Structure 1
Amino acid sequence: MKMKKWISILGGLLLVQLVLAIAVNLMGEDYGAFEPQEKLLAFDEKGVDGLRIEDGENSLVLKKRDGKWLLPDSGDFPADQEAVERLLDKLATLEKGWPVATTAGAAKRFKVDDEAFERRLALLIKEETQAVLYVGTSPGFRKVHVRPEGEDAVYAVAFNTWEANAKADDWIDKDILRLEGDQVTRVEMPEFTLQRNDEQWQLVSLKAQEETNGEEARALVDKLTGLPIESLLGTEAKPSFRQEAPEFEVKLARKGGDLLSYRFSKPEDEDYYVLKRSDLDHYFKVAPFAVEPIQTTGREKLVQTKTEEAPSETSGGDISAEAEVEAAEVQE
C-alpha cells in the first residue's frame, strides 16, 4: 500500500512538471537565443547630440551644441553637463542579461509598452533616432524593467527611474551663478561696501578704532559667488515676482568685467526668493537658506574693534635691562 501511495505522489509531481513545461513553451519564453552579455542598446555614445525623455505627461529635449548640452525649450539654458554625460554612460554600459518576459501582455504589465511606460528615452544624432528605450516598473532596489524598441523581450537592469526625469528643472545647471572668488574686487550692499586690497577684504569708511573682520567678509563673498538656484522662472517678469519692490540688492564688481547687479524679491505668501542677475535673461527661484544669510549680514557683523599691538619681546627685554641698571645705581 505504501509503495502504491508513493507511486501516485511521484506520478502527480511528474504531471505537474509536464504541464508547467507545456505552459512555458506556449508562452514563448525561449531564452536559449539570448546572450546575457549583449549590450542593451546599440548606439554611438560619442556621436549622440540629442536626447528626448518622456514620462507620459512631460516631454524634455536636450541638445548638444558646440560641445555643450543645452535645454532648447528653456531658451537654450545650460544643462548640467555631468548629469547628461552620466546618463549616456549608464545607457551605453547596460547589458541585457536574461529576459524576464517576452510577451506583449508582459510589456503592458511591466509598463514598458509603446503606449504605457514610466519613461521613454530616445537617443538622437542629427535629429535621427538611433535607439529608444522604454523604462517601466521596479522589481527591486535600484532595478527597473526595460524594453528596447523593436524587441519583445523585457529585462531587469540596474537603473533608477529618477536618473531620467522629464522636467527641465531636473537638468539645469544649478551652479550657473557661480563665480571665481579671486576675480571679485568689490561688493556693494545696502549698508556697506567691501573692497579687495591685494588678498584682503576691507570695509570702506572704517572709523578710527575699527577694522574689518576678514573671516566674516570672506564668508559673505563665498556665499555670493557660490549662490545655487533651485529652478527657472522664465525670462519674463511677472507681477507676482515683486521685482519692482525688491527685498534687497547687491552689486558685485569683477576684474575686467561689468558690474553685476543681483535683485532679490520675495513673492507674497511664498517660501522662496526670486533673483534676477543683470547679465542673465532668466529669473531664478532661490531657496531661503541660500539668500537669508546674505540678507542678514549687516555692517556690524563685518566690523571689529582694533586690537592693540602688544610690546615686542625685544623692546620688553630692553626695558628690563634699563630697570636693572637703575636698580644697581640706587644700591650703590
Structure 2
Amino acid sequence: DKGQTLQIGSVPEKEKDQIYVRFTPRGSVYTLPKKSEEILNTKPADLRDNHLVRIDTNILDRITIDAPGEGKTVLARKDENWIIATRNNTPADSGAVRRLIDTLQNERVTRFVEDVASNLPKYGLDKPQTQLTFSSFASENTAETKAGEQPFAGIAFGKPEGDNVYARLTDEPFVVAVRRGLLDQISPDLLQWQELSIFKFKPEQIHRLSVTAEKELSLERDQNNQWHWLKGSGEINQANVQSLLNALSSLHAVRWLGATTPQHGFGKPQLGIAFTTSPDNKTSHKLTIGAQNNDGTWCARVEGREGTFAISNSDLNTLRLPLEAQATASPPPTTTPVTNVAP
C-alpha cells in the first residue's frame, strides 16, 4: 500500500497559534493547532522511558557495589532494615540505603548515547569503574527459585565525560549518559555504610568518666549514685556532667568518612573521653575528637571500631562543657559617693 502524506507549512500571519497543513489525498489546505507540529516531530528517542533503572523493591534483598581496586560492599535487607553482609552482618545506615534506592529510582538519563553497545571500551564499560547489582535472595530452594542470590537488575558505570558519566544496564543493549554526581552517592567503601549510631547506652549506665582536653578530669559514681572526683577539684558542675552524659551515651555520627588518615587530626586531638559502663569498670570505651572538617563538623573515632566519622559542632561543644563549677566572683565592694562640701 502506498502511504499517505500530511504536509506541514508555515504559520498564518493572523493566527500565530495555528499552522497550515495539506493532506495530499484531498488536496485542500487546513489549519491545525501549532502544537500538532510538535507532536508530529516526536522522535523515537523522545518516547523512551528516561528513568535510569526500575527497581522492584518488593523482591530487592541485596545490593552489591563493586569497584575494582577500591572494594566491594554487599548490603542485605534484614526485616525493615539493612546490614552490611561483607562486614559480619553489622548494622548499616538504613536511611542512607533507602535514599540510594530512591535516588536511583528517580534518576533520569541525560541522553541516550548509543542504541547498540558495540564499542564498550570507547565508553569505559568493558571495565566499569563501578558496578551495581540488585538481587533477590532465597535461603532455601522453592518451586519458583533456587536458594541464594538471584540478580534481576544491574548498572555499570564507565568513563566520565564533563558533568556526565557513561552507563549501561546489564540487560539492555544501549549506552546512556547520567550525571556524574550520582557516583558520589555510591561508595564501595563499606565503612561509609555503617549505621550512624555510635553509642547505645543510657546516661545512668556510665559509671566512670575521664575527659582530657587542656587537662584531664576524672569522675566516678559512688554507691549513692553521686559523682565524686578521681582527678579534679572543687565543686562538680552537675548540670554539665548530665548534659555530657546525655550526649555521649547516645552519640550519633553525622556521616562516616571512611578509613582513618593522618588528615583527620588524631595525632593532636581536640578532646579525648574514656568511660566505663559497668560497676567493676572493666567494660570501657574511648572516644577521640580530631580535626575540624570544612563543613564545621569534627573528625571522631572510637577505640575498637574501624574508621572515622563526623560529629556535629553542637555535640562537640556539649562534650567539652566545663565539669568544674566556676567559682563565683565576689561582688565588688560598694563605695559611698563622696559629697564635696563647699567651703
Question: Please, what TM-score do these two structures have when normalized by structure 2?
Answer: 0.55
Which residue does 1:137 correspond to in 2?
159
The change in CA–CA distance for 1:121 and 1:205 in structure 2 (over 3 A counts) is closer
Which residue does 1:275 correspond to in 2?
303
Q: Which runs of 5+ in 1 are unaligned?
A: 1-30, 234-246, 266-270, 277-282, 311-332
Structure 1 CA distance for aligned equivalents of residues 202 and 165 of structure 2: 41
Which residue does 2:277 correspond to in 1?
252
Using the TM superposition, give the Cα deviation of residue 54 of structure 1 relative to its aligned residue in structure 2, in angstroms: 1.2
The change in CA–CA distance for 1:309 and 1:289 in structure 2 (over 3 A counts) is same
Q: Deviations over 1:95-134 (max 9, x none)?
A: 44641223435532222x2x31121111111111111111
Structure 1 CA distance for aligned equivalents of residues 64 and 189 of structure 2: 11
Structure 1 CA distance for aligned equivalents of residues 247 and 50 of structure 2: 48
Q: Which runs of 5+ in 2 are unaligned?
A: 1-42, 138-148, 211-215, 261-271, 289-298, 332-343
Amino acid at match of 1:48: L
Percent of matched pairs sharing the same residue: 18
The change in CA–CA distance for 1:306 and 1:33 in structure 2 (over 3 A counts) is closer
After TM superposition, the structure 1 = structure 2 runs for residues 9-24 of structure 1, keeping only pairs within 5 Å, are: none
The change in CA–CA distance for 1:94 and 1:308 in structure 2 (over 3 A counts) is closer
Using the TM superposition, give the Cα deviation of residue 168 of structure 1 relative to its aligned residue in structure 2, in angstroms: 0.9
The one of 190, 195, 198 aligned to 1:176? 198
SS, match of residue 151 in structure 2: strand
1:83 paired to 2:96: yes
SS, match of residue 53 in structure 2: coil
The change in CA–CA distance for 1:97 and 1:160 in structure 2 (over 3 A counts) is closer
The one of 147, 150, 153 aligned to 2:174? 153
Using the TM superposition, give the Cα deviation of residue 232 of structure 1 relative to its aligned residue in structure 2, in angstroms: 7.7
Which residue does 1:104 correspond to in 2?
117
1:213 paired to 2:237: yes
Using the TM superposition, give the Cα deviation of residue 275 of structure 1 relative to its aligned residue in structure 2, in angstroms: 0.6
Amino acid at match of 1:211: E
- Contact 2:123/2:166 (<8 A) preserved: yes
Which residue does 1:55 correspond to in 2?
67
After TM superposition, the structure 1 = structure 2 runs for residues 118-133 of structure 1, keeping only pairs within 5 Å, are: 118-126=129-137, 127-133=149-155
The change in CA–CA distance for 1:42 and 1:273 in structure 2 (over 3 A counts) is closer
Which residue does 1:238 correspond to in 2?
none
Which residue does 1:193 correspond to in 2?
219
1:203 paired to 2:227: yes
Amino acid at match of 2:285: Y
Amino acid at match of 1:121: L
The change in CA–CA distance for 1:108 and 1:35 in structure 2 (over 3 A counts) is farther
1:93 paired to 2:106: yes
- Contact 2:206/2:245 (<8 A) preserved: no
- Which deviates the most, 129-138 or 99-108? 99-108
SS, match of residue 244 in structure 2: helix
The change in CA–CA distance for 1:138 and 1:289 in structure 2 (over 3 A counts) is same
The structure with the largest helix share of the pair is: 1
Structure 2 CA distance for aligned equivalents of residues 231 and 96 of structure 1: 29
Using the TM superposition, give the Cα deviation of residue 287 of structure 1 relative to its aligned residue in structure 2, in angstroms: 7.0
The change in CA–CA distance for 1:121 and 1:252 in structure 2 (over 3 A counts) is same
Structure 2 CA distance for aligned equivalents of residues 132 and 44 of structure 1: 12
Amino acid at match of 1:170: Q
The change in CA–CA distance for 1:106 and 1:125 in structure 2 (over 3 A counts) is same
Amino acid at match of 2:245: V
Q: Deviations over 1:272-323 (max 9, x none)?
A: 86613xxxxxx33457999xx89x979xx4222665999xxxxxxxxxxxxx
Using the TM superposition, give the Cα deviation of residue 62 of structure 1 relative to its aligned residue in structure 2, in angstroms: 1.1
The change in CA–CA distance for 1:68 and 1:304 in structure 2 (over 3 A counts) is same
Amino acid at match of 2:92: A
Q: Deviations over 1:249-288 (max 9, x none)?
A: 421369xxx98521579xxxxx986613xxxxxx334579
Using the TM superposition, give the Cα deviation of residue 174 of structure 1 relative to its aligned residue in structure 2, in angstroms: 3.8
- Which deviates the most, 102-111 or 146-155? 102-111
